[in-house]
Structures are given as C-alpha cells and as structure tokens.
Amino acid sequence: MEQGRTETAKPEVAEGWEPRIVGFLCYWCSYTGADGAGTARIQYAPNVDIIKVMCSGRIDPELVSTAFAHGADGVMVCGCHIGDCHYINGNHKTMARMPLLKRLLADLGIEPERFRHEWVSAAEGQKFAQLVTEMTEQVRKLGPLNWPGIMHSRGVGHGQDLRPWGE
C-alpha cells in the first residue's frame, strides 16, 4: 500500500449475485404465516432465509449486527402484531428495541432498506410473501453490502501482515 490515502472500494457485483437476507421469525405468528404462504402455494423470492425463534422478543440486536457483520445483505425481523403475542407482550420488547437499533445501523452507514421490522400474523402468508419480494428488490438495487469484504480491505482483524520491525 504505497499511497497514503485509502478509499473504500465499491464492492464488485459478481454475476448472478443474489441478495442474501436473513429473516428472524417468531414461531407462533410470523413463521406460521410464512408456512401459510406455502400452503397457499404463493410464489415469492427465495432470498430470505428464515431462522426460527420462539418469540420475536428473543431477537437480541446483537444477532442483527452479527448477520450483517458476516455477510448478510439485509436482515428482517418479524413478530406477532401488538396485542397478539403468544407470550403476551414479548413483541412489545422487540418494538422498544427497534428505534435504537435502527439508529445504530444507520450511523454505521447501513442503508435503512437493508433492515426491516414487520408484524406478520399466522394468517398473513400473502403479506409475508409480498414483504419478502419487496425487500429483495430493494436490496438488489442497493447491491451487496459485503461487510466482511469492507472490513477485510481495511485490515480489520489482520492488520497489514507486516514483518516485525527491523526485519
């Protein structure tokens, strides 16, 4: 690296790149809603891979950061509608976490369209399908996030692999 200044390289969009979105879904409402889309044979984009938790309240913001940090182009968090939570008000806690989390992600340059938080009921298969397709297209327009690539190019975790001083 001979030049003083470094510029963050724009990620190259490989051919055939598909947005990779991690979806955290609560079992009782949103996961079941996603199943409902399947039962109704609604076709939608395959880009959201679902990780099941019992309640959206389980979704620690740490998990959202982890997903982005390790290569997700987008993250979706779904829970039961307010008032419908299987665990009474676990989803209230999810909701309360969202403003700070969204602000933190935005402050770190992650475009708001890459993180979505929605309420999906067990009967809203159609809504889920539309949500997935819509978010996939938005993320596709934004391109890959490639956080590991960005951090790697800045030497995070490995430095410049230099020789010890004097050698």
Partner 1 sequence: MDSNGQVSGKLKIGMYWAASCGGCDISLLEIGPHLLELIQVAEVVFWPCAADFKYEDVARYPDGYIDVMFYNGGVRNSEQEEVARLLRKKSKCLVAYGECAVDGGIPALANLKTPEAIYDASYHENPSLDNPDGTEPQPITECPYGELEIPRLYPQVLRLQDVAHADYRIPGCPPSAERVWEVIQLIVGGKVPLENSGVVVGCYDKSVCDECPLEKRMVKIEQFKRIHQARPEPGWCLLEQGIVCMGPATRSGCGALCIKGGVACEGCFGPSGESEDQGTAMIGAISPLLNATTEDRAAELVNQIVDPAGYFYRFTFGSNILRGRK
Partner 2 sequence: MTEAMTRNEQVRGEEPRIGVFICHCGGNISDVVDVRRVAEEIGKLPNVAISTTHMFMCSDPGQGLIQEKIKECGLNRVIVAACSPSLHELTFRRTLNRAGLNPYLFEHTNIREQVSWVVEDKELATRKTTRLIRAAIGRIRHLVPLEKRHIPIHPAALVIGGGVAGLTAARDLACRGIEVTLIERGDHLGGRMADLGHIFPTEDQANDLLRPLIQEVLATSKIRVYTHAEIEESAGTIGDFHIKICVGANGKPGEVVEAHVGVIILAIGLEEYAPREGEYGMGLYPQVITLLDLARELVKEKPGQEFTLNGRPIRNVAFLHCVGSRQHHGVHRPGPQGKINDYCSRYCCTGILHSACELKKRYPHLNIYEFFEDIRAYGRGHEEYYTKASEEGVRFVRFDPLRPPCVEKDPRGESPLLVRSIDRLTENMEVEVPADLVVLGIGLQARDMSKLIDLYRCSVGADRFLLEVHPKLRPVELAVSGVFLGGSAQGPMDITEATAAAAAAGSKAAAMITQGEVEMDPFIAKVNEDLCTGCRICLSVCPYDAISRDEEKGIAIISEKLCTGCGTCAASCPSNAIQQLGFNDAEVKSEVLALLGVPEQEPVGA
- x/- contact string, 108-127, with partner 1 (CB under 8 A)? xxx-----------------
Q: What is the dihedral of CA 21, 47, 141, 42, to 10 degrees?
A: -130
Q: Provide the token pair at 54.
A: 């019992």
Q: Does 9 bind partner 1 (CB under 8 A)?
A: no
Between CA 67 and CA 128, with CA 110 as vertex, the angle to 5 degrees is 60
User: Among 76, 77, 78, 85, which residue interacts with partner 2 (rule: CB under 8 A)?
Assistant: 85
User: Among 20, 95, 137, 138, which residue interacts with partner 2 (rule: CB under 8 A)?
Assistant: 20
DSSP of 126-160: HHHHHHHHHHHHHHHHH----HHHHHHHTTTTTTT
Q: Does 9 bind partner 2 (CB under 8 A)?
A: no
Query: Each residue of 23-34: b (16+ CB within 10 Å) or e?
Result: bbbbbbbbbbbb
Which residues lie closer than 8 Å to 128 by C-beta, 6 or more apart?
Answer: 30, 33, 34, 36, 37, 44, 78, 120
User: Among 25, 66, 79, 135, which residue interacts with partner 1 (rule: CB under 8 A)?
Assistant: 66
- Shortest Cβ 5–partner 2 spacing (Å): 20
**Residue 162 binding target from partner 2, partner 1, none, CB below 5 to 8 Å by type:** partner 1
**Residue 54 binding target from partner 2, partner 1, none, CB below 5 to 8 Å by type:** partner 2
> Contact positions toward partner 1, by CB under 8 A?
1-8, 60-62, 64-66, 68-69, 92-93, 95-101, 103-104, 107-110, 145, 147, 150-151, 153-160, 162-167
